[in-house]
Amino acid sequence: MAPSVPTVKLPAGTPLPVIGLGTWKSSPGQVGQAVKDAIDLGYRHFDCAFIYQNEDEIGAAFAEKIKEGVVKREDLFVTSKIWNTFHSNQKVHEAIDKTLAALRFEYLDLLLIHWPFGYKEGGDLFPKDANDKMAHTDVDYVETWKALEEVHKAGKAKNIGLSNFNVEQVQRVVENSTVAPACHQIEVHVYLQNKKLIDFSKSKGMVVVAYSPLGSNDRPKGPGFGDFPAPLEDAVVKKIAAKHKKQPGHVLLKFLLQQDLVVIPKSVSKERLKANLEVFDFTLDNEDLNELQKLDKHGEYRACTMGQ
């Protein structure tokens, strides 16, 4: 029998499973099977985005499992995100309709603004200017937020939220909202602990979802980034894992779960998908937590540098 994953409640009362499947960098041809395997294993929370360019395959996997009777639509919690080339009001509405069509759904459980800046609309997803720099738009993310509120009121997104915003940007949205953000999705792991942003987001009533919670081997390297082993290979993490007779990945996920964060590790391996759910049978003690807190690299190690 598939394990039951605990949930937290978003401000509107929607239950959100504390472990979900991330689909960033999950290749077409693999992601659909990963979603089907995850559902069979007990996952009910799935994190998607238009820019990942795999929502159609994910939607087909959902449809197959719903048709088989393994799950119902209402059993699933599915997130997607508005990409940077869809920040104007009209484009937000176009984007949500594209995503819903791809996923074969009538609504999302959560819709996020993916980044707090927009790109030139109507062309490439990563448009460049004459100097080969990203071509930005002057659309204010507050305008984008107002469009998300319209999507919410139309019933196409049960909850709306933010992703990759900083403290000042979160504050501006909160001050200019009629529907408060329910969630903030940001990169968090033992090497990038983001405590100030987490605490601020929580103080505004948001549930914080941690992407790349295991760190990432596929991370940017070079000037400005420290030469560190991946968190899964960190000696302190491995020592704590051995102490609890668990895997390093279990320690990394548990470290975040014990901070009341939601985690969305990505995998296309059925074995690892199963392993990532095996985190509810142990507890990190204060000594463990103190050692892990000391591993923060304060920005010198991150999986995603797009907003830097």
pLDDT tens for 108-129 read: 999 999 999 999 998 899 999 9
Say yes or no to pLDDT of 1 above 50. no
Average pLDDT of the segment spanning 196-218: 93
Q: What average pLDDT score do residues 208-218 get?
A: 87
Read off the pLDDT of each residue in 253-260 and give the average, rounded to a whole number: 98
Determine whether 33 is exposed, middle or buried from the number of CB atoms within 10 Å of its CB (0-12, 13-18, 19+): middle
How far, in Å, CA of 128 to CA of 67, rounded?
43
Residue-wise pLDDT tens digits, 227-237:
788 999 999 99
Considering the chain, what percentage of its residues have pLDDT values greater than 90? Answer: 87
CA distance 214 to 133: 31
Q: Which residue has the tokens 């707090």?
A: 116
Mean of pLDDT values over 218-226: 54
pLDDT digits (tens, 9 = 90+) for 51-100: 999 999 999 999 999 999 999 999 999 999 999 999 999 999 999 999 99
Q: Which pLDDT value is given to residue 64?
A: 98
175's CB contacts (< 8 A; 6+ apart) are none
- 224/117: higher pLDDT: 117
Contact 275, 251 (CB under 8 A): no
User: Which pLDDT band, with edges at 50, 70 and 90, does 29 fall under?
Assistant: confident
The reported pLDDT for the residue numbered 137 is: 94
By annotation, the residues acting in catalysis are: 52
Q: What is the mean pLDDT of residues 280-292?
A: 98
- 5-28 residue pLDDT tens: 999 999 999 999 999 999 987 777
Residue 308 has pLDDT above 50, yes or no: no
- The CA distance from 196 to 72, in Å, is 38
Instruction: Provide the mean pLDDT of the chain.
Output: 93
Percent over 70 (pLDDT), the chain:
94
What's residue 123's pLDDT?
Answer: 87
